[in-house]
Every structure is written in C-alpha cells, then in structure tokens.
Amino acid sequence: MTTTPSGVQAAPRATAAARATDLTKVYGEGETQVVALDGVSVEFRQAEYTAIMGPSGSGKSTLMHCMAGLDTVSGGSARIGDVELTSLKDKKLTQLRRDKIGFIFQAFNLLPTLNALENITLPMDIAGRKPDQAWLDQVVDTVGLSGRLKHRPAQLSGGQQQRVAVARALAGKPEIIFADEPTGNLDSRSGAEVLGFLRNSVRELGQTVVMVTHDPVAASYADRVVFLADGRIVDELHDPTAEAVLDRMKRFDAKGRTS
Ligand SMILES: Nc1ncnc2c1ncn2[C@@H]1O[C@H](COP(=O)(O)OP(=O)(O)OP(=O)(O)O)[C@@H](O)[C@H]1O
Ligand SMILES: [Mg+2]
C-alpha cells in the first residue's frame, strides 16, 4: 500500500493542487511589450507529475513563476489549492510560498555563504520548522550529496549545486513542487536519479510536481506533458514515452516553419 503522511493520498480528490484560469502575463509596454502568457488555463491535480514543454521564450518559466506566486499576473487567476494568489497580500503570499510550495529554479539561487546542508534546510529554518530527519537523510542520499553537505556552493560543481536546489525544494515536503529544468545541469545518471526521485515523491507521498524540461526522456517520467507555444497551451499528452514526446515536438517544429 502507498504511504499516506498527513493523509494527502487517502482518497482521490477533485480539488486541483494548482490551477490557472485564463492566465495572462504581459511584460513591458508599447513597442517592447511581450505577451508571455496569453490566456492559459491548466489544472495540476494532486499527486500528478506534469511536464511543461515548449520552445525557448514560449512562457514556461513565466507560467511557473506566476503559479508559484513569484511574479504578479496581468489577468486571469492563479490558484494553489483553494487559494487565489492574486487576492493575497505580500505577507500571506510569502507564507503560502514558504509552507506549501517548493521551487527549483532554472538558475539554482543558492546562498553563497551557506553550506549545502544549510541551503537545503533554509526555507524550514526561516519558517521555524524542524526538518523530518529521516526524510532529510533520504532526500540527501537520493540526490547523492551525503559527502558534500559542508561545502559551500562555490565549492560544488554545477550539477551538485542543482542537486542542492532539488533537495531544498523537497526537504520541507511541500504540497506542490515547481521545477524549472531541474536536470538541465546534470549528467544523465544524476538526472535520472533526480527524475526518479521526483516521480517517487508523487507516487509515494502524493506530492504534486510541475516540471519544465526540454528533454523528451525527462518528460517521459511525467504522467502528462503540456505543450506551450507563444504563451498558449497547444497540446497535451498523457502517459508520455520519450518517442511520443519527440514525435510531437517535431510536428510543432514543422508547423512553426510552414506557417
Ligand atoms: N522580466 C521580463 N521582462 C520582459 N520580458 C520578459 C521577462 N521575463 C520573460 N520575458 C519574456 O517573456 C517571454 C517568455 O519568457 P519565459 O522565460 O517564460 O520563456 P521560457 O519558455 O521559460 O524560455 P526558456 O526555455 O528559454 O527558459 C519571452 O519572450 C521573454 O523574453
Ligand atoms: Mg525558462
């Protein structure tokens, strides 16, 4: 049987872990205006692993940032569970981000003065929460950082820094994890371990993961793939295989060139 810490997976629930409704995001004004998100509606169900794919500049990072309350939206709605992010004042938003959301950034965003372990537990330290030691050990072990916990980011390779960022997002058992190309800087073995770990946290802990990736193999770890182009959702694939994802990407490519 599956484990059910805090009963998250006790029964299938209709409530989405996160939901965007007609979400728009416009950067800049006039000549330099960019419509990064153009009416995106998408639901991320609890205990589901979703991959977001699309060409560079299609709005993937913007979507993640808006859904995680890291950026304001221009229109529409972004919800985490039942909470409408646009309705929250700064303090409440910060609290919600801290308690419910894990974010793995495209750039790792580690604090240079803290060592790996301190970086991993920082969000919990700020929140005044004690880490679950067994879980923390498991996370650290899985991302292969046991021998590097006392090292500062500058003393770690790019891949190791990325693994610290992954561990930091997972350590507090957030309800939803947004990961922006979490394996972009990893060799294929470390990448596979991180992807497997994310998938296990979905299967066994009922966590919800939304992950941006350019890699069809990484996307094949997910339960579904959502494709973005020019700030819009253009397609969706369930139970993806790497081949099916690649095939779909090729078709978009061909369309892009002929239109
Ligand atoms: N802070 C910003 N100010 C102005 N324009 C921005 C800003 N952030 C993103 N954009 C623009 O919004 C669009 C979407 O950017 P976004 O970073 O979401 O793309 P992406 O799909 O994540 O691309 P990549 O795969 O290269 O990371 C791009 O055209 C980008 O230039
Ligand atoms: Mg991006």
pLDDT digits (tens, 9 = 90+) for 216-241: 999 999 999 999 999 999 999 999 99
Distance 59 CA to ligand 1 centre (A): 6
Q: Give the number of whichever ligand sits closest to the CA of residue 33.
A: 1
Q: Which atom of ligand 1 is nearest to the CA of 25?
A: 12
Identify the weakest region by mean pLDDT among 6-15, 18-27, 212-221: 6-15
Report which of residues 214 and 106 the model is more confident about.
214
Predicted local distance difference test score (pLDDT) of residue 144 = 84
Judge if the beta carbon of residue 107 lies within 6 A of ligand 1.
no
Alpha-carbon gap, residue 128 to 254, rounded angstroms: 52
- Nearest in space to 243 (alpha carbons), one of 220, 211, 214, 210: 220
Domains of the chain: 38-258 (3.40.50.300)
More confident residue, 44 or 158: 44
Q: Please tell me the distance from the alpha carbon of residue 86 to that of residue 180, in angstroms, as a whole number.
A: 22
DSSP E strands in 126-239: the ranges are 176-180, 208-212, 224-229, 232-238
Question: In this predicted structure, what is the pLDDT of residue 193?
Answer: 80
Mean pLDDT over the full length of the chain: 89
Q: How far is the CA of 107 from the centre of ligand 2 (A)?
A: 10
Give the pLDDT of residue 219.
97
Half-sphere exposure of 23 (CA within 13 A, CB side): 31
| Whether the Cβ atoms of residue 10 and residue 35 lie closer than 8 Å to each other | no
- Residue 57 CB less than 6 A away from ligand 1: yes
pLDDT band of 127, cuts 50, 70, 90: confident
Q: What is the pLDDT of residue 147?
A: 92
Give the pLDDT confidence of 60-104 residue by residue, as tens digits: 999 999 999 999 999 999 999 999 999 999 999 999 998 899 999
